[in-house]
Amino acid sequence: MNAAAPVVSGGASPGAAAAGAAAGAAGEAAGEAAGGAWDDAALAADLLALDPCGLGGARLRGRPGPARDAWLARLAAGLPPGAPLRRIPAHIGEERLLGGLDLAATLGAGRPVTQKGLLAECDGGAAVLAMAERAGATVAAHLGMALDAGAVTLARDGVEGAAPARLAVVALDEGAEDGEGAPPALVERLAFDLDLDRLRPVASPPRDVAAARGRLPGVAMPAPLMEALCAATVALGVASPRAALFALRAARALAALDGRSEAGEADAALAARLTLGPRATQLPAPPQEEAAEDETPPDETPDDETPDDAPEPQAPPEPEPDDAQEDAAPDLDALTEMMIAAARAALPAGLLEGLGAGPQARGGGAGTAGALRKAATRGRPIGARAGRPEGGARLDLVETLRAAAPWQPLRRRAAPGRAGVLVRREDFRIRRFKRPAETVTIFAVDASGSAAAQRLAEAKGAVELLLAESYVRRDRVALVTFRGATAELALPATRALARAKRALAGLPGGGGTPLAAGIDAALAEAEAALRHGWTPTLVLLTDARANVARDGAGGRPRAMAEAMAAAARVRALRVGALIIDASPRANPDAAALAQAMGARYLALPRADAAMLSGAVRAAQDGA
């Protein structure tokens, strides 16, 4: 997808040469690369239009622009005539998404009248989810269920039933920052993952999708090709069987587009590039002998940097991925190599750094988000009470009708001429919402030499205690560590506590204390949390002996001054904060830092578990 990517695997293996040729659409020359990437994207649009239900959909990363518009236009052109293509806002209510009671019709008819939801209205076409990065887990789950089942089941507001919803979902993902993006549960069910941000649409002749659609059911898939695709998923560390199925269907669709009745190697290679490339979580080592002959080693993906301990989030038994990789290596026949080579071509540059930080950190495009937005979550409905639908309160229609129902015969007798349901003011019920008080506790842990020497273990212990506390309260936690010259986000905000623990256990110690960088990183995470509408709390665990400035230069006074300035920014953001002084004896600098930050201060020597958790809670309340 990235500019120079197709050259990467240029001659890694004989199969790859074939793959390169097969992937001719991608454009061999670097100059055409941008156009080539657009061709890939356009091809994905055609494939999706050809088999919307089988391929599930696509995630389009990037901000609104001509590329996105052109892509959507291409998809619309390819879909069968009359097929719906509807836009779904990220904050759509469940009653519109799934369907429910039709207010006007119900009142008019005097009996419940149901209304189709958007998902059912999209049957046979595609739904475009706008601002997918803002979509909640619930919306993602509904879309996921519709994609899995090809239908929506409904059981709400006095309505029950199922409606067909065979559709593709196009998730427009404008998530700009790491850790922000469309819900993984949704992305997993979409065949394509395209980065349109840097693409310039090129007019290309339309393909005959309609004719291909007629051919698709008859396209055969040779078994060796299917096996090679499966092997490629293993080698690329793609865990979900869905990915292999998507590759399979894409290969079939490619053959159908090309007017053939059997998928060939070229189809499979291209399908692997389109569907497996963006999902890769590890890079298989290319065969050594070929690599030696090859004069143009893959510069973006040096093999020795392939992380041996490539994170396998879903794989608790750690040694297994390595075994799998070793086992798989000798079995890779030429075909599989070809698939992998093709998929590798789609790996964006800098993927390795992304892999190092875990899957959460992937997926962010370039660019910056707009200004900080105040999250406008309305909360979850928790019931209804009598009241007037005014001042922003929303009428709960069903409960209102229920309240009115028993009185209908009486009221009708009193007002014989009136038709429909007789609703009076005292019947009005309004919805009550629970504000989601979701919190994120951001731990910034000083792992520098000065702190580590005596106290890192204790500090880890303290953080673990706090993590356990957060777990019980079902908070999210994020972990920032700083040592040497820089700070890093060891763990983006998550509820998966086992991951937090792992990140902490692997925390190396030593080096200088880049306190300002540490606070900056924590602050960035706090801002990200605010964008999500969560309430961040910052817990800074340090001995406050800052000696590395932001630019990596040594020197205590400047480092400390910068740290103080960073602390003032935390205060300005009005984020609840707690500083745990990890020095052997209480350090006045830490207390001063706490004051600058508007944070509570706690010296570790005196802290026990109860005190720590009490202090964190106090910091959260005092935010």
Other C-beta atoms within 10 Å of 14: how many?
A: 14
Residues within window 138-177 making contact with another protein, judged by CB under 8 A: 138, 141-142, 145, 148-160
| 261 near another protein, rule: CB under 8 A | no
Range in contact with another protein (rule: CB under 8 A) among 33-41, 215-223, 269-277, 606-614: 215-223
| 281 near another protein, rule: CB under 8 A | no
Residues within window 321-380 making contact with another protein, judged by CB under 8 A: 324, 327-328, 331, 380
Other C-beta atoms within 10 Å of 29: how many?
A: 10
108/557 Cα distance (integer angstroms): 75
Give the residue with the Cβ less far from another protein, 400 or 513: 400
For residue 129, which of 197, 188, 183 has the smallest C-alpha distance?
Answer: 183
Give how far the C-alpha of residue 42 lies from the chain's centroid of Cα atoms, to the nearest Å: 23
Overall residue count recorded for the chain in this entry: 623
C-alpha radius of gyration, the chain, whole number: 28
| 221 near another protein, rule: CB under 8 A | yes
Range in contact with another protein (rule: CB under 8 A) among 109-117, 275-283, 557-565, 599-607: 109-117
For residue 418, which of 404, 398, 402, 400 has the smallest C-alpha distance?
Answer: 404
Site string for another protein, 498-537 (x = CB under 8 A): x-xxx--x--------------------------------
Range in contact with another protein (rule: CB under 8 A) among 118-126, 268-276, 489-497, 524-532: 489-497
Give the residue with the Cβ less far from another protein, 477 or 522: 477
Contacts of 338 (CB under 8 A, 6+ apart): 13, 15, 16, 18, 19, 228, 265, 268, 269
| 120 near another protein, rule: CB under 8 A | no
Cβ density class 574-594: b for 16+ within 10 Å, e for less: ebbbbbbbbbeeebebbbbbb
Give the residue with the Cβ less far from another protein, 67 or 500: 500
Torsion of CA 174, 176, 182, 183, to 10 degrees: -160
Range in contact with another protein (rule: CB under 8 A) among 182-190, 297-305, 510-518, 583-591: 182-190
CB 111 within 8 A of CB 148: no
| 182 near another protein, rule: CB under 8 A | no
Tokens of 460: 């880890």
Q: Helix (H, G, I), strand (E, B), or coil: what is residue 325?
A: helix
Other C-beta atoms within 10 Å of 224: how many?
A: 13
Residues binding another protein: number (CB under 8 A)? 79
Binding-site member from 401, 541, 566, 577 for another protein (CB under 8 A): 401
Range in contact with another protein (rule: CB under 8 A) among 192-200, 258-266, 480-488, 496-504: 496-504
Shortest Å, Cβ 142 to another protein: 6
Site string for another protein, 32-71 (x = CB under 8 A): ----------------------x-----------------
| 539 near another protein, rule: CB under 8 A | no
Binding-site member from 292, 376, 382, 415 for another protein (CB under 8 A): 382
| 244 near another protein, rule: CB under 8 A | yes
Decide: residue 222, CB within 10 A, 0-12 exposed, 13-18 middle, 19+ buried. Answer: middle
Give the residue with the Cβ less far from another protein, 67 or 422: 422
Torsion of CA 492, 485, 352, 2, to 10 degrees: 90
What residues pair up with 173 in beta bridges, in sequence order?
61
Binding-site member from 245, 283, 355, 599 for another protein (CB under 8 A): 245
Give the residue with the Cβ less far from another protein, 13 or 470: 470
Give the residue with the Cβ less far from another protein, 6 or 277: 277
175/13 Cα distance (integer angstroms): 36
Range in contact with another protein (rule: CB under 8 A) among 227-235, 266-274, 386-394, 515-523: 227-235
Binding-site member from 185, 211, 457, 553 for another protein (CB under 8 A): 185
